[in-house]
Structure 1
């Protein structure tokens, strides 16, 4: 499996526990991996087989079904993306009484609004409406925000697709053309970096939503929609949690006003 596909591992494990019967061995293993994520670096296939009362072959089959050669490769996924998955594990710090989370949110909204001008929003929703297909591409970190936008748009008469795992050899991506629109979501730049080569190979109208300002992005994307005027830290902040939601909601509000049924 290509490196990029591994950015959907968390979604893949969660899909197993959401969509499969509790008496399925894979559910037990998926729950175990998720519950023990913080100590996976200490475990090996023998430990997991013993603690879950399954064979080592069963553990290996789960890893292979998720696209890994073996459990060791799957475990390395969590090590490699520890900082990315830390998105879920820490709260947003208040730097002082004067800069509470509420104040940070207010400042974030003002900053986003500087980019979400009426002319910009009008151009964006017109492009969305005119595009034959709209596909959002993101790691599992922002799949929920995309899903909310997707549901709202579909109920307003515009089909939107969201891809947050199984990126490589995906027929939806491979069939995109210049009549379509691909929107890549990467607030802190992690996903934009690892998906760059794959996205660059696609022949479609490409948009990146990010806080990271790079000449490379502006050169290879048709459009870059910025959430902020300057690069932001990769640590958890109001931008990594709320900016994308605010941004997409502003786009949807403009779309429904102009094109809603």
Structure 2
């Protein structure tokens, strides 16, 4: 469900207010419960567009059709639990003892990050960094926090004179995947594996491309349905709620490792 909110926010943050899709996204963001009960014609009327425009908007968000999107809205409307506790902290502790909650969660994060020394395979990471360095076409795929980490890595690499792609919008990610070939590198970041549930088109195009595929995840048992050349494991499935921290730490370590291996005159510049 959170992926729908994320996609709507992307539209609202990046599209022009004159864009028809912006107006649809704005209406939905303010009327989730209503949309859950609306037919496509009624929503089109409320947004002053045609049903065909609503269908195109749904596909732009990564949904097959309006019924698929409406189903997610209905799930939200009928769920009394509107917010997922993704940091594994008891809600009653946060309400009554925020200081104790801070200590509790901090210990979880420190434990997960410390365990990276046992999980990160630097032989694999070095091969992935070599792929990134040698390929002219490198693309990151992820959503929500994983995409933020991909942007962080993308920025670091650009500072090191390596251009990569990391598109936010679902449709742009699909178009990017479709443009790759066997000489390209696709890096999928998905802490818990949720990316796979709503981005099957991206995976289908990656499979057709026969490109090199790298998976970075905190879910060792994940099966993404296509061949993976290299997998970077961040921890075990029991630590998935702290996976965002191990992902960001790993990205920063990989950036520094890339710098040490490939940046010109590194011995003079590294600090």
Normalising by structure 2, what TM-score?
0.70
Aligned to 1:151: 155
Maintained 8 Å contact 2:218/2:234: yes
With over 3 angstroms needed to count, the CA separation of the structure-2 counterparts of 1:190 and 1:119, relative to structure 1, is same
With over 3 angstroms needed to count, the CA separation of the structure-2 counterparts of 1:77 and 1:204, relative to structure 1, is same
Maintained 8 Å contact 1:136/1:182: yes
Cα drift, residue 90 of structure 1:
3.5
Per-residue CA deviation, residues 107-154 of structure 1 (Å, 9 max, x unaligned), is: 111122323355444333223212222111223452222112112211
Aligned to 1:221: 228
Unaligned segments of structure 2, at least 5 residues? 94-99, 265-271
Query: Is 1:188 aligned to residue 192 of structure 2?
Result: yes
Tell me: higher relative CO, structure 1 or 2? Use CA pairs within 8 A at least 6 residues apart: 1
3-state DSSP of counterpart to 1:220: coil
Within 1, Cα distance between the matches of 2:222 and 2:85?
31
Equivalent runs, 1:241-260 vs 2, <5 Å: 241-260=244-263
Query: Is 1:134 aligned to residue 147 of structure 2?
Result: no
Per-residue CA deviation, residues 56-114 of structure 1 (Å, 9 max, x unaligned), is: x44652442342676444222445799xxx99754523368597111111111112232
3-state DSSP of counterpart to 1:162: coil
Within 2, Cα distance between the matches of 1:141 and 1:181?
21
Per-residue CA deviation, residues 190-211 of structure 1 (Å, 9 max, x unaligned), is: 3246635544333111111112
Normalising by structure 1, what TM-score?
0.73
Per-residue CA deviation, residues 189-240 of structure 1 (Å, 9 max, x unaligned), is: 2324663554433311111111223385698211111111x33477xx221x
1:65 corresponds to which of 57, 82, 86: 57
1:201 corresponds to which of 200, 204, 208: 208
Per-residue CA deviation, residues 18-62 of structure 1 (Å, 9 max, x unaligned), is: 234435554333123124446643455576567x5x43x446524
Equivalent runs, 1:1-261 vs 2, <5 Å: 10=5, 12-22=7-17, 24=19, 26-37=21-32, 40-45=35-40, 48=43, 54-55=47-48, 57-58=49-50, 61-67=53-59, 71-78=66-73, 89-90=84-85, 92-94=87-89, 100-116=104-120, 118-164=122-168, 165-166=170-171, 170=175, 172-192=176-196, 195=200, 196-214=203-221, 216=223, 220-228=227-235, 230-232=236-238, 237-239=241-243, 241-260=244-263
Within 1, Cα distance between the matches of 2:184 and 2:108?
36
- Aligned pairs, number: 245
Aligned to 1:4: none
